[in-house]
Every structure is written in structure tokens, then in C-alpha cells.
Structure 1
Amino acid sequence: MIIIDAIRLGNLPNIVTYNTLIAGYTRFVSFDAAYSILSRIKEAGLTPNVVTYNSLIAGASRYSLLSQCNKLFEEMIQLGIYPDVWTYNTLMHVFFRNGRPEEANKIFSDCFGGGNVLPCTTTFNIMINGLCRMGYISNAVRFFRNLQKNGFTPKVDTYNMLINWLCKSGRVGKARKILKELEETGHVPDAITYTTMMKCCFKSKKIEKGFEVFMEMKSKGYTFDSYGYCTMISALAKVGLIKEANLCIEEMIRTGIGLDLVSYNTLINVNCKEGKLETALQLVDDLGKCGIESDQYTHTILVNGMCRVGDIDGAERHLKHMEMTGAKSNLAAFNCLIFGLWKAGQIEYAMKVFENLEQKDEFTYTVMIHGLCKKNMFFPAAGMLRSCLMEGMKVVRSAKWAVISGLRASGYTREANNLLATIQTAKRLRY
């Protein structure tokens, strides 16, 4: 509408205008709507440029349309539009995201190896993060070392990325060496660096090490806000160290740090995990008295906490209360309710809640499929899985194999093989 008004006033749009439209359409409307702007560019007597195609490739990447990314790349080459570093970065990213590291590595070798297009820090980060995401962490470290040998000076975000993935893979010692190297290079580790290390130590039950990292972080001024404390409290609560989490809460309150929504949600979560629902609900009341409005995460924590202690009725009442007060639909909270119903053995009711949900996500289907498998209802689980695949819904691998292994264990080998073929076909169609 704005463009139409501009044309009427004699202000003709240029290629920058259309490129901006494409970027907006891919993010907020659809890829097809964005691609249709190409014809409008040509009608206006303009020529699309590398930014135009980079925006379209990025949009196709956002919707995991790998075949469209390839077609767009070929199309821009045919039009004589030379790809730049961001074209290749986007293609590498989409290949990694779709589980095809070989193609991503080939792009890096072929497109940046000749020296025609120079890679940037983002290029290297995409490679390191992509390799780690695919499980090739040792390869990522070797790639990182080769870059250093060739004169690349990594920044803090690259170090943080490596530390994060090394921690996730349980290589705490290696992560600490990278942290030490970061300090020796003259870079200053930031809050993300320390919180990553801290979470890893707690997760691997190295409590003393976690406290050491926390104290080091605190001595450098990173934790004199709620963020550092909440990170530590959440990590402690996650591994079941409720007593230590409460001590940390007391220290946070003692230091006079003002509690924000994240702080309250963290405290509510700790109390729910400890089974102290009354205290959790009191904190919600305190939240309102402070003039802070609770968010969907607050309600999800409460519903999950109620389901955890078997108070399914309380969880339902809270969801109804949310609807009555005009709160936005909270799919995560309903997922928690469905999970709680399965644990309580209320199968029919879980199915009813599932069927009545207008919106469903990957976790909703995962809970349902796993629940059906645990009750040896493998045929309904297989039917649900097929429906997901037909709708283009991504289903986690554990749910797929729960159905296939369940069918095989029950003697339905043929049905299991047919389902596996359907999964493989759906995967190929996505590419």
C-alpha cells in the first residue's frame, strides 16, 4: 500500500525498496510471497542483484527449502549475478541445518579456496558451529586450529562457541583449556563464557568446579545482577541440588539485587521442583504485587509443577484460569498437561486434550507418540507418526524409533519396514 501511494506521488521504488520487501515477506509472510516480488522487479524495469537473491536464499533457508536454495543459486548464476560471501555463508548454514555437512564443507573448499571470495569471521563460525552440531566436534577443533595456523585471530564469540559444544559433549577438561587459551590471548571472557562453563560443571556433577567458576565470574564483576545468580540457581535445580539452589537464592536476596521476571520464574521453578507449590503460588502473587506481569513461562512452570506432584486437577484449573483472564494460548503448558495425563494413566483424557488443541508442535506429537508406545499402542502411534510426516511436521528421532522398535518387538516386522520406508521418503521429499 505504501509503495502504491509512493508511485502515485511520483516516487518510483528502486531495487533497495524491493529487496527490503523480500526480506520482510520471507520473515513475516511466506517464501512464495517473497519470490513473487521478482516478477514485480522485472515489471518495474529493474534488475535483481546479489542482495535480492541472498534475501531469497535466506528466506528459503528459514523454511528449510533446500531444493529452492539450490535453484535460486543456479538462477542467479545464469543471470550473471556473482555470489558474495553472504551467499555462500547462507548456503553452508542451510546444508548444516539439514544434516548435510559434506555439501557445506564442499562449498567452503570450492568457493573460498580459490581466493575469489574471501571468507569472514561469520563463515568460520558457521563451519565450527555446523560441524559441532553434527557431532564432529574433534573436526571442528582441528578446523579451528588450522585457521589459527593460517593467521585467523578468533574473537570471544568463536571461543564461546567451542567451549559450549565441548561442554555439551562432556569434554570439560578440553573446554577449560580453551578458556585458559582465551585468557592468554588477551581477550576478556564474558558472562556467556563463564555461565557456559558453570552449567557444564554442574551438569557433570563437578559441583566444586562449578562454584569455582562462579566465584571467578563474581570476582570479575559479572554476577552483580540477577542473570548470573539465576543461571547458577537454574543449573543447581536442574541437577537436583535444591538445597544449594536455595542457599544461592538467599545470597541473591541478601545482596539486595532487585528481582525481575526471570528471577521470579527461576525461584518459582525451584520451588515447583521441590514440590513446594504453595510457596510457588505465593511467589506468583508477589510477582503481581510488584507490578510485574507473569508470562507464558511462569504459567508453564506452574502447570508442570502441578503435574509433577500428580495434581492434574490443579493444572487444569490453572489452564482454565489463564483462559478466563484472557492470557494467550500456552501450548507449552498444554504439552505439560498431556505429559502429566500420560504419567497418571489417563490415556483417553490425554487423547481428548490432544484432539482439542488447535495448535500442536513437535513436542506435542513426541509426547503422544511416546505415550502410546509405552502403553504398547504401536499401531495408533504409527498412524500418528504418518500423519505428522504427511503434514511436513518434524518428529524427533527417538519417537520414530520407539514406534519402529515397538512394532518389530511385537512381531509386526512388515509394518515396521513400511513405516521406515515412509520416514525415508518423507526425508527425501524435504530435500
Structure 2
Amino acid sequence: MCLRLSTKLLNISVASLCRTKQLEKAEAALIDGIRLGVLPDVVTYNILITGYCQFVGFDAGYHVIHRMKEAGISPNLVTYNSLMAGATRQHSLACCLDMLDEMLDRGIVPDIWSYNTLMHCFFRMGRPYDAYRIFSEILLKNISPCQATYNILINGLCKNGYIKNALMLFRNLQHQGYVPQIVTYNILMTSLCKLRRWKAIMRLFEEIRELGIAPNAITYTTAMKCCFRSRRYKEGLQIFFEMKSRGYAYDLFACCTIVAALVKSGRRRIADRCIAHMIKIGYDLDIVSYNTLINRHFKEGKLEKAYNLLDVAESRGLDCDIYTHTILIDGLCKAGNFSVAERHLNHMKMMRFNCLVASNCFINGLCKAGYIDYALQVFKSSDMRDSSTYSSLVNSLCKQRRYLLAAQLLLSCIRSGMKILKSDQKNVIQGLTRLGTKADAERFKLQVRIAKLLHY
């Protein structure tokens, strides 16, 4: 009895050390336990496997199985489920399938969590049809799906772009008596938010209330975010105040979402009160929070305050991310300080940041200021372009009646495999027609059709 209790204590110690990423100390505790005569069991090694898979990698976790064999302990279902989860986390479908095969070779019958993990792995690898096949296999084998099974299935469909199928499945499950949890609603609302489906999100939000399911911070924040993205500022603020009045814990992300929306809608005073509230309740601001505040000052033309905030963030040991640099470049362009903005853009390139959005801000700023030739030089020297880059230049060239060059750029965009805005194409055609070069306009239309046929 004493030995059993000692092994249990050893397992608790190893688990605590693994959770805090102290794997070396966990190994030391295991060795000390063996020296004292406390022998580890399968649970001890399963805890180590989970720790190694989570914080080091699948190979390190799998190596523990060899040690189990040396100790005369056979791996069990939990062992292989942990390894499958580690392989999935590493996006290794081959390793996940190997663990399933090894499990079957040992005569271990997979459970619902084995199939859940495999289904999740297929979804993560962008293979939704194979994932759905696993779900069908679960039903054929008369294994009862759990709440996590449905959440994995709905989340996987959403992540792979099948939001309609996810919603249809969700409704079908409800008709069959499935009672969803708030996690399921959060998954659907997050995916709908990315598509800016405001009405669909509000329907789900009302449904949560009607069913008496308690929303959490993610539910409220997602609903607020979608309202603000859809320019429904009033509804977004109502959701925030409801969240606050009902005593739900709202995090720093929710506060930053509110501040960003208030700044965009021109409600500076309320934004200031929200910032003051964030400071009052002692939030430890992260780089996302500073980005929100820096962007606000740039929009108000307060460059000095924006740079002061940047200095404060760096003095606190926070590293500027791609959004920080992009906000700075955009703010400098709006202030007409293009030389400094270009230096900052070059600095981003040296630091190997993804400069596409920042470059687009710089080119767009030059175009709006009328420096179209300067913008074209930057465009030609840049190897990162998207449809937005072309659109800014085409619009500016059309304003300067340089329709032939605008036509060449649009064709270049299509031939690069990118989509163009219908409005840009229409402006170029109308411009060529106005110049009296109808032949050029017809030739341009034909070239656009050919380019689209070749690339779409």
C-alpha cells in the first residue's frame, strides 16, 4: 500500500514538473524515485510522453516507449493516444497513422479519442474528406461520439472553408437531440466573423441567450469584433456593456477591440475613458495593446505621442511586430514624411519581416500624395505584390489620364495569377475610350479575356 501511494506521489511530482516545462527535473525526480525503491508505472511514462510531445517533439516522446520496454512496462491505449496527439501537433500525418497501426498490431483497440485525434490530424493537413471518412467509420463501428468529436468536426469544416457544411451539420445534430456547448457556438461564431457574416453571428448569439447557455469572454469578444468590422458600432458597444454589467470577465483583447473600434468611429473621448479604465484596473499591456494606442495617435496626427508610446513599449522589453512597423509606415506616409517611411520599410526588409502590407501602405501613400512615378519605382524594385498593390497604382494612373500604362499594369496583374477589381478594369476601358483610342480599348478587353482564360 505504501509503495502504491509512493508511486502515485511520484506521478504527481513528475506531472507537475512536466506542466511547467521542467522536463530535466521530471527526469531527475524519476531517477531519484527509482533509487529510493519507488518504481514507476505506465502512468509515469505516459506523463513523460505527453510532456515531451508537447514541449520537445514527437520523436522525443516516442523514445520513451523504448525505456518502457526496458523497464518491462507495456504501452497502453493512453500511451498511443498521447503519441498520436503529439504527431498531430507536429502536423505529421504519417506518424499519426504509424501510431494507429502500431496500436492495432499490439492488439490495443482504439477508442473515441484515437479517432478524434486522427480526424483532427486530417483536418489540419487540409484533407477534410478523409477526416469525414473517419467520422463515418466511428459511426459504423458503433462507437459513441462525444462532445469533442462534434467540435473537432465542426471546427475542421470551418477551418477548411466549409462553413455552410459546418452549419448544416450543426443544425442536423440539433434536430437529433444534440445539445451544443458554448465552445461549439464560439467555433461557428469565430468562422463567421472572418467572413463578416454579422446577421448569422447575431442569430447564434440570440440562440445562446434563448437556450440559457452562459456566454464567455470569447463569445462576447467575437460578437463585438464582428459588429465593429461591419461598422455596427452601436451594437458592438451594447454587447460590451452587457458583458460588463453581467459581471463577465473581459480580457485585454476585448478592451483593445473596443478602443480600436471607437478610434475608427471617431469617438475619441470614449476611447480615452476605455484606455484610462485599462490602466486603472492594472492590465499589463502587450504589444497588441500598444499597437492599438500607437495607431490611434497616428490617426490623430500626434506623431510625438505615438513615438513616445513606442519607446515605452521597447523599454518594457516588448519586441515590435510586423503590425507595429506597418502602423509606423502608414502614419509617416499620412504625415507626408516619405523619406523616413522608406528608411523604415528598408529596415523591415533587413529584419526579414513580411513587408507586403507595409509596402502597400507606402505605395498607396505615395499615390495619394501625387508621387505616382516615385510609387512606380518602388513597385518595380519590390518583389512582393498583390492585387491591392496594383489597384493603388491603377487608380492613380487613371486619375492622371495615363490609361495605357494603367492597362499594362492590370494585364500584368492578371498574368501573375491575381484577381483584379471590376471597377479598375472599367475605369481603364472608359479612359481608353475617352482618349479616342477605341481600338486600344477593344484590344485591352480581348487581352484581359485571354489572360483570365489562361490563369483561371
Query: TM-score of the superposition, structure 1-length normalised?
Result: 0.68
1:335 aligns with 2:353: yes
Name structure 1 gaps, 5 residues minimum: 321-329, 351-366, 376-400, 418-431
1:261 aligns with 2:285: yes
Q: CA deviation at 1:56?
A: 1.1
Q: CA deviation at 1:259?
A: 5.2
Aligned mates of 1:151, 1:177 — CA distance in 2? 20
1:51 aligns with 2:78: yes
Name structure 2 gaps, 5 residues minimum: 1-26, 364-373, 391-412, 419-446
Is residue 291–residue 327 contact of structure 2 (8 Å, CA) maintained in 1?
no
1:61 aligns with 2:88: yes
Distance of aligned partners of 1:19 and 1:404 in 2 relative to their CA distance in 1, 3 Å threshold: farther
Aligned mates of 1:332, 1:17 — CA distance in 2? 47
Distance of aligned partners of 1:75 and 1:347 in 2 relative to their CA distance in 1, 3 Å threshold: farther
Aligned mates of 2:251, 2:75 — CA distance in 1? 48
SS at match of 1:152: coil
Counterpart position of 2:215: 189
1:205 aligns with 2:231: yes
Q: CA deviation at 1:100?
A: 1.0
The residue type equivalent to 1:27 in the other structure is Q
Distance of aligned partners of 1:139 and 1:181 in 2 relative to their CA distance in 1, 3 Å threshold: same
Is residue 329–residue 344 contact of structure 2 (8 Å, CA) maintained in 1?
no
Is residue 41–residue 47 contact of structure 1 (8 Å, CA) maintained in 2?
yes
Q: Can you list the C-alpha shifts for 1:157-183, whole angstroms capped at 9, x where unaligned? A: 212222222232233222212111111
Q: Give runs of aligned pairs for residues 211-226 of structure 1, distance below 5 A.
A: 211-222=237-248
1:94 to 121, 141, 146: 121
1:249 aligns with 2:271: yes
1:303 to 325, 335, 343: 325
Aligned mates of 1:332, 1:20 — CA distance in 2? 43
Q: Give runs of aligned pairs for residues 278-289 of structure 1, distance below 5 A.
A: 278-284=304-310
Is residue 268–residue 301 contact of structure 1 (8 Å, CA) maintained in 2?
no
Counterpart position of 1:234: 260
Aligned mates of 2:415, 2:33 — CA distance in 1? 57
Distance of aligned partners of 1:284 and 1:294 in 2 relative to their CA distance in 1, 3 Å threshold: farther
Query: How many residues matched?
Result: 355
Q: CA deviation at 1:315?
A: 9.3
Aligned mates of 1:137, 1:368 — CA distance in 2? 34
Q: Give runs of aligned pairs for residues 10-89 of structure 1, distance below 5 A.
A: 10-89=37-116
Is residue 125–residue 158 contact of structure 1 (8 Å, CA) maintained in 2?
yes
Q: CA deviation at 1:50?
A: 0.9
Is residue 163–residue 178 contact of structure 1 (8 Å, CA) maintained in 2?
yes
SS at match of 1:102: helix
The residue type equivalent to 2:67 in the other structure is R
Q: Can you list the C-alpha shifts for 1:128-174, whole angstroms capped at 9, x where unaligned? A: 11111122222212211222222221122212222222232233222
Q: Give runs of aligned pairs for residues 343-354 of structure 1, distance below 5 A.
A: 343=362
Distance of aligned partners of 1:66 and 1:347 in 2 relative to their CA distance in 1, 3 Å threshold: farther
Which gives a bigger RCO, structure 1 or 2 (Cα 8 Å, sep 6+)? 1
Is residue 118–residue 131 contact of structure 2 (8 Å, CA) maintained in 1?
yes
Distance of aligned partners of 1:225 and 1:5 in 2 relative to their CA distance in 1, 3 Å threshold: closer
Identity in percent: 41
SS at match of 1:46: coil
Aligned mates of 2:415, 2:100 — CA distance in 1? 38
2:185 to 149, 159, 165: 159
Counterpart position of 1:405: 417
Is residue 163–residue 196 contact of structure 1 (8 Å, CA) maintained in 2?
yes
SS at match of 1:118: coil
Q: Which has the larger radius of gyration?
A: 2
Aligned mates of 1:179, 1:85 — CA distance in 2? 30
Q: CA deviation at 1:23?
A: 1.6
Aligned mates of 1:35, 1:348 — CA distance in 2? 54
Query: TM-score of the superposition, structure 2-length normalised?
Result: 0.65
Aligned mates of 2:241, 2:58 — CA distance in 1? 48
Counterpart position of 1:293: 316
SS at match of 1:296: coil
Distance of aligned partners of 1:253 and 1:73 in 2 relative to their CA distance in 1, 3 Å threshold: closer
The residue type equivalent to 1:194 in the other structure is Y
Counterpart position of 2:442: none
Q: CA deviation at 1:340?
A: 4.4
Distance of aligned partners of 1:404 and 1:55 in 2 relative to their CA distance in 1, 3 Å threshold: farther
The residue type equivalent to 2:180 in the other structure is P
Is residue 306–residue 315 contact of structure 1 (8 Å, CA) maintained in 2?
no
Aligned mates of 2:62, 2:325 — CA distance in 1? 42
Q: Can you list the C-alpha shifts for 1:68-93, whole angstroms capped at 9, x where unaligned? A: 21121111111111112221111111
Aligned mates of 2:190, 2:341 — CA distance in 1? 38
Aligned mates of 2:66, 2:282 — CA distance in 1? 55
Is residue 356–residue 385 contact of structure 2 (8 Å, CA) maintained in 1?
no
Q: CA deviation at 1:208?
A: 3.3
Counterpart position of 2:169: 143
The residue type equivalent to 2:237 in the other structure is F
Counterpart position of 1:392: none
Aligned mates of 2:166, 2:174 — CA distance in 1? 12
SS at match of 2:192: helix
The residue type equivalent to 2:116 in the other structure is N
Aligned mates of 2:140, 2:304 — CA distance in 1? 62
Q: Can you list the C-alpha shifts for 1:198-249, whole angstroms capped at 9, x where unaligned? A: 2112212233333343343344344887554322123455xxx1623x2332
